[in-house]
């Protein structure tokens, strides 16, 4: 099974290289005060639910951040990742990068219900909920330093595509040039790549995503690799998990320090630092030493990513239930 999945992953890499995303430009979102008149306490309610979910399970912060990332990288930040399959389309939840991986849908449901109740009507989109919940997660786990103002006004998509998710999300085995090409195809740049990868400061990963790095790569700390092999054997244990850095419950700069010690968990992580003095190396060093610099660039890159091809104005809809389109 592991061998089959590896073949599938390689096929997806080829498909991605052939996929051309011709228009990464974005529409213009509104201010972070977009809901001030429609529902002045909307953001307060979102943060309250996120805070409760993280208190119950700290890992949920990483899950909510990842949902926003995986939503935006597939046809823009439109809440399409939340849609269940229908007779008309197969959604993104069962795409290879998402299956048995993305989570937090129940928390999004809770947020939607709480916001609709507080607002007295259906005015806050699911896409905006994802963007705000991602920001709240890093602020709760990293402190006020990591807070930033989220532009709002996204509408929700009426469809989703598993195929698009398979070809647009960067897999953990991508090398540096593939990662950069992926980000550039979405209108992002090198700084965005390194800063947003800092999202791996929180959360965990499955053995199947880093097994190849443990057993086939040399640019990995031997003791680090040996400790991970105990829970990630050559075969079996695909769903065994390991933290993405040494502080998976805290949003900080430990991730970047680990890369400088050849302790990146994923192949794609370690690709950001090779010790060759590249611009990527310089950013990793900068962020490892300066939390304020990382926080500033991370917030800017999150805002930039969150503005990738959103549906606004007459486009899309505001779903009543984030899992299905309105009737």
The answer to whether 151 is annotated as binding is no
What DSSP string runs through 250-286? S-SSHHHHHHHTT--SSHHHHTT--SS--HHHHHHHH
The answer to whether 312 is annotated as binding is no
Angle formed at CA 262 by CA 208 and CA 187, multiple of 5 degrees: 70
CA distance 91 to 126: 16
Residue of 203, 182, 164, 193 whose CA lies nearest to 302: 193
CA distance 273 to 276: 8
- Could you give the residue numbers annotated as active site? 70
Residue of 178, 164, 142, 149 whose CA lies nearest to 291: 142
CA distances from 148 to 10, 55, 57, 138, 322 (A): 37, 21, 23, 10, 24
The answer to whether 247 is annotated as binding is yes
Alpha-helical segments (H) within 80-125: 105-119
The answer to whether 85 is annotated as binding is no
The answer to whether 84 is annotated as binding is no
The answer to whether 200 is annotated as binding is yes
The answer to whether 167 is annotated as binding is no
Residues making up the binding site: 71, 74, 76, 78, 80, 92, 170, 200, 245, 247, 252
Residues making up the binding site for Ca(2+): 71, 74, 76, 78, 80, 92, 245, 247, 252
Residues making up the binding site for heme b: 200
């Amino acid at each position: 099974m592991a061998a089959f999945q590896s073949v599938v992953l390689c096929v997806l890499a080829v498909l991605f290289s052939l996929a051309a995303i011709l228009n990464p430009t974005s529409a213009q979102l509104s201010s972070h005060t977009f809901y001030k008149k429609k529902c002045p306490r909307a953001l307060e309610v979102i943060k309250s639910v996120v805070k409760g979910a993280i208190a119950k399970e700290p890992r949920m912060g990483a899950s909510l951040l990842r949902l926003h990332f995986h939503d935006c990288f597939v046809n823009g930040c439109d809440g399409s990742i939340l849609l269940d399959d229908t007779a008309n389309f197969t959604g993104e939840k069962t795409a290879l990068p998402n299956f048995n991986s993305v989570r937090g849908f129940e928390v999004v449901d809770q947020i939607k219900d709480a916001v609709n109740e507080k607002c007295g009507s259906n005015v806050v989109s699911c896409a905006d909920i994802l963007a705000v919940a991602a920001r709240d997660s890093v602020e709760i786990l990293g402190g006020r330093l990591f807070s930033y103002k989220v532009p709002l006004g996204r509408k929700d998509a009426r469809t989703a595509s598993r195929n698009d998710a398979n070809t647009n999300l960067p897999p953990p085995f991508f090398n540096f040039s593939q990662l950069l090409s992926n980000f550039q195809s979405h209108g992002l740049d090198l700084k965005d790549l390194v800063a947003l990868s800092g999202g791996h400061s929180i959360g965990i990963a499955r053995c199947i995503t880093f097994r190849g790095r443990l057993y086939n790569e040399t640019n990995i700390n031997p003791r680090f690799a040996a400790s991970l092999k105990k829970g990630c054997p050559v075969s079996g244990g695909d769903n065994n998990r390991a933290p993405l850095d040494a502080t998976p419950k805290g949003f900080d700069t430990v991730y970047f320090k680990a890369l400088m010690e050849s302790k990146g968990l994923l192949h794609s992580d370690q690709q950001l630092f090779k010790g060759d003095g590249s611009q990527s190396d310089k950013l990793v060093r900068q962020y490892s030493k300066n939390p304020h610099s990382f926080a500033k660039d991370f917030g800017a890159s999150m805002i930039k990513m969150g503005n990738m091809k959103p549906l606004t104005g007459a486009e899309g809809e505001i779903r009543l239930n984030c899992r299905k389109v309105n009737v």
